[in-house]
Amino acid sequence: MFIETTINLDVKVIKRIQHCAVAAQKNQSYIIEYLMKKTMKYHQRLVRSDRRIEYQNKSPMMNWHKLHVTFTIRDYEYFLDMRKLCKKSFSYLVAYSVDRYLDDFLKSLNNKTKQIYNTDNYQFLHYVIIKEMFDDVICWKIYWGLPRNPDHLSIKT
């Protein structure tokens, strides 16, 4: 199942995504998903607390456009978690990912020994949300990755 959503980006960022999509022979959603997965691998440097959601700088020099994208529900939920934990809008995180990782993606397309399409989905294969109730209190546990010793996971079936 898929979720369709819209992100707001500077047209220069969108053009970079489009160029990369053509070069990789993939759609724009795929490129964004790949870049977000790279960002998630290094989420430790982005996670923040005790602040409001940060949005992209709305400079008058920028030309903002909406980009329609589609993701699996699992990936979309993961991106929403990133938004909450990193305190950055999804559009901001996409622009950050493009700025940080798009050139590496393009370089790997030109490198015949490295297959870009075999991305490391480890983080996504082991993404778990667990709801626990203690009296009238709801506790949500979010796992990004698989612990070395998963015996302590309290998954009830």
- Secondary structure E strands in 58-117: 64-72
pLDDT for the residue 157: 43
Q: Is 51 exposed, middle or buried (0-12, 13-18, 19+ CB in 10 A)?
A: exposed
pLDDT of residue 123: 43
| pLDDT score recorded for residue 109 | 84
C-alpha distance across the termini of the chain, in Å: 23
pLDDT (0 to 100) of residue 2: 94
Q: Which residues pair with 133 in a beta bridge?
A: 138
Q: What is the pLDDT of residue 122?
A: 41
Kindly give the confidence (pLDDT) of every residue in the chain, 157 residues in length, as a single tens digit, with 9 standing for 90 and above: 999 999 999 999 999 999 999 999 999 999 999 999 888 887 778 888 888 999 998 888 889 999 999 999 888 988 998 898 899 999 999 999 999 999 999 988 877 545 554 444 444 556 777 788 889 999 888 777 766 776 766 655 4
DSSP secondary structure code for residue 48 in this structure: -
- E strands in 24-152: 64-72, 127-134, 137-144
The reported pTM is: 0.79
Q: Which helix (H) or strand (E) element contains residue 4? A: strand 2-10
Q: Specify the pLDDT at position 90.
A: 95
* Domain parsing of the chain, residue ranges: 2-113
User: What are the CA-CA distances from residue 132 to residues 75, 78, 146, 150, 155 (Å)?
Assistant: 23, 19, 19, 17, 9
How many angstroms separate the CA atoms of 157 and 146, rounded? Answer: 18
pLDDT at 121: 43
